[in-house]
């Protein structure tokens, strides 16, 4: 009788506490890895496995991951490889090794909140039709882990306005098309069977999170699945100098590919022009020029923008030349005046 009770208890635990796989991707994150991994150790949900991959960092990120693997109270697998620079491919490496019923993807510079997993698991276990659960709130932290209240409020206001409580799957897909984003995948817990069904990340595309979200949203719509959005804070987002999101060219190439693959019959959304104009301000004109040849999505529609940029670039060059001439003239005048005064006083 006692053995039967033990078996029943084990079955209950396995049923109510399924394994969650947390996939952490590292590149030059040596300053942040320990905080990232220890936040996972501190979760109020304990049936977790950690898969951490370092993508050929030049710092000691791989060494730190290996040391944490030895100390980890959870099953942890530390992986390292030569640099690929392909985020989607790197996440797929961990996805193929993941054993969990549910899965979470994040970067090693971000930090999970203590209650990031348990409530989501409970919801997913209660309803097998739910494909993912996501926390729509997050805080922005700097390189030292300090919360940036102003940026947190600003970004949170934007996300909250997008993710209304009664949002449906068509509206989520529309957010990916019109605004290039609905939520951060770091705040989402996915049913692994759904991620597997869509083939994980597309390794032939520059982007990762927007690609996975769009594929999952389309799958959810096609198979009439559901999802849940929580009004909770799921993670701390690191706004550091090395973030890929600050690479304007990469961002614009990503969304151009997304438009081409997932929305081929739709016109370019107005936000694309805004992103391109913003990108022009953060890169040399010669590099910005190449953005008009990305997948043919941007070449014709923004020709007038390119012409304006060319005019602006020419004006800047002219103004710089004039400024140099004025400066040289001013310096020459000062020298002459100094010589003149010296001769008078002498």
- CB contact at 8 A, 217 and 176: yes
pLDDT-derived band at 275 (thresholds 50, 70, 90) equals: confident
Mean pLDDT taken over the chain: 83
- Name the least confident of 87-101, 107-121, 325-339: 325-339
Rounded distance, CA 342 to CA 55, Å? 66
* pLDDT recorded at residue 145: 79
More confident residue, 257 or 108: 108
Q: Is the pLDDT of residue 94 over 60?
A: yes
Tens-digit pLDDT profile for residues 178-213: 999 889 999 999 999 999 999 999 999 988 999 999
CA dihedral 81, 85, 91, 97 (to 10 degrees): -20
* pLDDT recorded at residue 271: 81
More confident residue, 61 or 4: 61
* pLDDT recorded at residue 4: 40
| Other Cβ atoms within 10 Å of 219 Cβ, number | 17
CATH superfamily, region 14-238 = Spore Coat Polysaccharide Biosynthesis Protein SpsA; Chain A (3.90.550.10)
pLDDT-derived band at 111 (thresholds 50, 70, 90) equals: very high
Tokens (6 digits) for 147 = 């919360």
Q: Which residues, other chains included, contact 158 with Cβ-Cβ below 8 Å and sequence gap of 6+?
A: none
Tens-digit pLDDT profile for residues 18-55: 999 999 999 999 999 999 999 999 999 999 999 999 99
H/E element holding 278? helix 270-280
* pLDDT recorded at residue 10: 42
- Domain residue spans in the chain? 14-238
Q: Is the pLDDT of residue 132 over 60?
A: yes
- 48: which strand partners? 20
CA dihedral 121, 126, 129, 130 (to 10 degrees): -30
Rounded distance, CA 82 to CA 80, Å? 7
Tokens (6 digits) for 100 = 């969990």
| H-assigned helices in 225-282 | 248-262, 270-280
* pLDDT recorded at residue 2: 34
- Name the least confident of 129-138, 142-151, 277-286: 277-286
């Amino acid at each position: 009788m006692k053995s039967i009770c033990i078996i029943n208890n084990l079955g209950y635990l396995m049923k109510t506490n399924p394994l969650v796989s947390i996939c952490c991707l590292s590149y030059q994150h040596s300053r942040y890895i320990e905080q990232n991994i220890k936040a996972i150790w501190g979760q109020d949900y304990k049936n977790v496995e950690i898969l951490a991959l370092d993508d050929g960092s030049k710092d000691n990120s791989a060494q730190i991951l290996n040391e944490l693997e030895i100390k980890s109270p959870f099953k942890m697998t530390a992986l390292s490889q030569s640099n690929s620079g392909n985020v989607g491919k790197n996440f797929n490496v961990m996805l193929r090794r993941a054993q969990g019923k549910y899965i979470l993807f994040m970067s090693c510079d971000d930090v999970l909140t203590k209650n990031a997993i348990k409530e989501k698991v409970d919801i997913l276990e209660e309803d097998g039709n739910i494909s993912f659960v996501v926390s729509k709130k997050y805080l922005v932290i700097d390189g030292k882990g300090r919360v940036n209240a102003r940026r947190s409020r600003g970004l949170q206001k934007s996300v909250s306005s997008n993710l209304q409580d009664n949002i449906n799957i068509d509206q989520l897909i529309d957010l990916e098309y019109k605004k290039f984003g609905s939520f951060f995948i770091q705040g989402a817990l996915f049913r692994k069977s759904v991620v597997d069904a869509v083939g994980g990340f597309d390794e032939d595309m520059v982007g990762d999170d927007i690609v996975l979200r769009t594929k999952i949203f389309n799958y959810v719509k096609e198979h009439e699945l559901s999802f849940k959005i929580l009004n909770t804070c799921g993670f701390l987002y690191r706004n550091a100098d090395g973030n890929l999101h600050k690479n304007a060219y990469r961002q614009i190439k990503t969304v151009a590919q997304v438009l081409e693959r997932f929305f081929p019959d739709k016109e370019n959304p107005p936000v694309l022009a805004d992103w391109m104009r913003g990108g022009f301000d953060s890169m040399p004109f010669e590099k910005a020029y190449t953005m008009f040849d990305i997948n043919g999505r941007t070449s014709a529609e923004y020709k007038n923008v390119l012409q304006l940029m060319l005019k602006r670039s020419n004006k800047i060059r002219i103004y710089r030349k004039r400024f140099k001439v004025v400066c040289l003239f001013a310096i020459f005048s000062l020298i002459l005046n100094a010589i003149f005064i010296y001769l008078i006083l002498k």
